[in-house]
């Protein structure tokens, strides 16, 4: 995968990737800057800086600006390496945007914090030249399109259009640095329902359901990975390949539930993720979910687990998105009487990550939606599992609550995977019992009420921006 570095800068301690080796910077002869605050909340905000080179081409550029208020800090950035010293912020390019041709622009985004006021930064300079918006000499070449990328492949699959994904701010973004939403289905436990995942069912999921994503739920206990590590790893890799062949993203779910403490499986997680990340590092369609539903433990414990597992993945696959489970069965702590603030105030020390949220529509209603609606402006979220029924996986479909949830996720472009693409004898299953003995995975004859409802939502046209 093409390497992308996004720095989590902790300004107070001066942590940041500020070694600007690589090509020497060249002089700039004119530039302009557009600065936009895209969202703001108490004590924090998300902003974008677009710097346009109005002079000669530059390589190895460096953009600096100053904060007017001592309380303003950069917390996390993307599309550049950011660091802060005192009130001065420095943004340096990553590999894929190192050169700025005449008329070309670089979009740098970041999340910041502030106390008191939050005035616009000043003294923007590109390679030491103040960006006044003036042109010191006439452009010698026409400006390229922004961003300078090729058109999407003709096949039009989710992976074909979006390519390698990355986290930018609170969104999941595609190769064009535009926010997208992935919609798909989760398998049930591979130890019980492996017959449901075959050529016919995956063809149906990609072509008839028009899903963007297959989440592979690999249970660790309950007859899962711990009983046959090699065998279950092979099953996961096979489903990654099947999803890739159909242009779908593949989420690898390390499905921990009982016990709820993820550190119980820490060594297994390191072994498993080292194996699958090494094997799948060259693929553009893989997302790693490192702990399904932590429960009975603190956020500090989950954070510690994540900060030990993520480096194992990054050592083999530095670019893939990683999703971290949250407290209270991945409810952002709501099911434990907490909320997203504990994560906002103490985020995982890693980049290119998202946080998991799970809901079951008949059990988790307005109070949970209120938290997600608020948290979506502060954290990158992915609903890696949800059901249209109760949290037991059974009971009647709550169509009104399910619709309210999916409308909310659509508004915030939060991706989701429904539980489950299986013929389990429970209300959350997409198929009626016995369906996986046949070859029909799409018609009304085999779909449950939940399956028909979710298929109708997933199969609507995607809106993947490419410019």
pLDDT in tens, 405-446: 999 999 999 999 999 999 999 999 999 999 999 999 999 999
The whole model's pTM is what?
0.70
Q: Residue written as tokens 């094997």?
A: 279
Q: Is 399 within 8 Å of 364 (Cβ atoms)?
A: no
SS3 201: helix
Which residue out of 289, 340, 342, 385 is catalytically annotated?
Answer: 385
| pLDDT bucket at 25, cuts 50 / 70 / 90 | very low
Which residue out of 244, 289, 293, 426 is catalytically annotated?
Answer: 293
Active-site residue 342, yes or no?
no
Query: Of 19-33, 122-136, 297-311, 338-352, where does mean pLDDT reach its minimum?
Result: 19-33
d(C-alpha 375, C-alpha 36), whole Å: 21
CB neighbour list of residue 456: distance below 8 Å, 6 or more residues apart: none
Domains (ranges, CATH) in the chain?
11-130 (2.60.40.290), 158-458 (3.20.20.80)
Query: Of 109-113, 225-229, 264-268, 373-377, where does mean pLDDT reach its minimum?
Result: 109-113
Phi-psi region for residue 328, left (φ > 0), alpha (ψ -120 to 50) or beta? left
pLDDT in tens, 289-301: 999 999 999 999 9
Q: Does the pLDDT value for residue 278 go beyond 70? A: yes
Taking alpha carbons only, the member of 332, 345, 320, 333 closest to residue 382 is 332
Burial (CB < 10 A; 0-12, 13-18, 19+), residue 112, is buried
What pLDDT score does 261 carry? 98
Query: Of 33-37, 77-81, 98-102, where does mean pLDDT reach its minimum?
Result: 77-81
pLDDT in tens, 315-334: 999 999 999 999 999 999 99
pLDDT in tens, 85-143: 999 999 988 766 778 888 888 888 787 888 888 889 989 999 888 998 743 333 333 33
Q: Tell which wins on pLDDT, 77 or 460.
A: 460
Q: Residue written as tokens 């390497």?
A: 3
**DSSP secondary structure of 218-283:** EESSTTSGGG-HHHHHHHHHHHHHHHHHTT-EEEEEEE--SS--GGGGHHHHHHHHHHHHHHHTT-
Q: Does the pLDDT value for residue 81 go beyond 90? A: no
What pLDDT score does 436 carry? 98
Active-site residue 385, yes or no?
yes
What pLDDT score does 223 carry? 97
Average pLDDT rounded to a whole number, residues 348-374:
96
As given in the structure block, the two tokens for residue 242 are 């099947």
Whether the link from the prior residue into 41 is cis, omega within 30° of 0, is no
> Chain-wide mean pLDDT for the chain?
87
């Amino acid at each position: 995968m093409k390497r992308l570095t996004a720095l989590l800068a902790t300004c107070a301690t001066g942590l940041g990737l500020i070694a600007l080796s690589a090509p020497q910077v060249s002089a700039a002869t004119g530039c302009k800057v557009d600065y936009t605050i895209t969202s703001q909340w108490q004590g924090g905000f998300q902003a974008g800086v677009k710097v346009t080179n109005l002079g000669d081409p530059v390589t190895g550029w460096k953009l600096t600006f100053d904060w007017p208020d001592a309380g303003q800090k950069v917390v996390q950035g993307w599309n550049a390496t950011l660091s802060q010293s005192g009130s001065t912020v420095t943004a340096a390019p990553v590999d894929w945007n190192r050169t700025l041709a005449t008329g070309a622009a670089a979009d740098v985004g970041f999340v910041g914090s502030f106390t008191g006021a939050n005035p616009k930064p000043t003294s923007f300079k590109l390679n030491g030249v103040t960006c006044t918006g003036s042109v010191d000499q006439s452009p010698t070449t026409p400006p390229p399109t922004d961003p300078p990328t090729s058109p999407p492949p003709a096949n039009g699959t989710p992976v074909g259009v979006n390519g390698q994904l990355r986290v930018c701010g609170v969104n999941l973004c595609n190769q064009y640095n535009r926010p997208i939403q992935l919609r798909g289905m989760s398998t049930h436990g591979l130890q019980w329902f492996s017959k449901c995942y075959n050529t016919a069912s995956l063809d149906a999921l990609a072509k008839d359901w028009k899903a963007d994503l297959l989440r592979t739920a690999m249970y660790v206990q309950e007859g899962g990975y711990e009983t046959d590590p090699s065998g279950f790893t092979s099953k996961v890799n096979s489903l990654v390949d099947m999803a890739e062949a159909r242009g779908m993203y593949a989420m690898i779910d390390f499905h921990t539930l009982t016990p709820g403490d993820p550190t119980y499986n820490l060594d297994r997680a390191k072994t498993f993720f080292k194996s699958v990340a090494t094997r799948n590092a060259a693929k553009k369609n893989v997302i790693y979910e490192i702990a399904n539903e932590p429960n009975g433990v603190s956020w500090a414990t989950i954070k510690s687990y994540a900060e030990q597992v993520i480096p194992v993945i990054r050592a083999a696959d530095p670019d893939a998105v990683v999703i971290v489970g949250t407290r209270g069965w991945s409810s952002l702590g709501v099911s434990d009487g907490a909320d997203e603030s504990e994560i906002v105030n103490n985020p995982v020390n890693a980049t290119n990550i998202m946080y998991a949220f799970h809901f079951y529509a008949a059990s988790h209603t307005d109070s949970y939606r209120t938290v997600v609606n608020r948290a979506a402006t502060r954290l990158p979220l992915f609903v890696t599992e949800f059901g249209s029924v109760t949290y037991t996986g059974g009971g009647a479909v709550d169509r009104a609550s399910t619709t309210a949830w999916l409308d909310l996720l659509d508004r915030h472009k939060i991706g989701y995977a429904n539980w489950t693409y299986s013929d389990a004898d429970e209300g959350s299953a997409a198929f009626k019992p016995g369906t996986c003995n046949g070859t029909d995975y799409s018609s009304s004859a085999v779909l449950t009420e939940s399956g028909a409802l979710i298929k109708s939502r997933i199969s609507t046209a995607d809106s993947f921006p490419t410019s």
